[in-house]
Amino acid sequence: GAGVSQSPSNKVTEKGKDVELRCDPISGHTALYWYRQSLGQGLEFLIYFQGNSAPDKSGLPSDRFSAERTGGSVSTLTIQRTQQEDSAVYLCASSLRVLDYNEQFFGPGTRLTVL
């Protein structure tokens, strides 16, 4: 079956522009997670959704970052006024339910480069 998909796969933008990253989770998965992976920082949690609500936004680095999920499915991560330090691979993952031991399935990521 289809896995987690993300778009675009690559995004190059100029500093100060806004970007939107999209994640399409596995059908039926109620939990959705955003992480980012940058050189020297490893993989770090950004936000997760249970259905359409986001109980934990603690990992969002600044108020320039926001995310939403509609219809319990697709999620978008928006970065406003991008900065060079936002350059990273943004990974989305989904799991069947929000439980500690549930396997998370990752998408291929969006590689964001801010010039």
Partner 1 sequence: RKEVEQDPGPFNVPEGATVAFNCTYSNSASQSFFWYRQDCRKEPKLLMSVYSSGNEDGRFTAQLNRASQYISLLIRDSKLSDSATYLCVVNRRNQGGKLIFGQGTELSVKP
Residue with tokens 């050189």: 39
Per-residue mark of binding to partner 1, 25-64 (x: CB under 8 A): ------x-x-x------xxxx--x-x----xx--x-----
CB 16 to partner 1: min, Å: 28
Q: Cα separation of 40 and 9, whole Å?
A: 21
| Residues 93/27, Cβ–Cβ less than 8 Å | no
82 binds partner 1 (CB under 8 A): no
**C-beta separation of 94 from 29 below 8 A:** yes
Q: Which positions lie near partner 1, rule CB under 8 A?
A: 31, 33, 35, 42-45, 48, 50, 55-56, 59, 91, 95, 98-104, 106-109
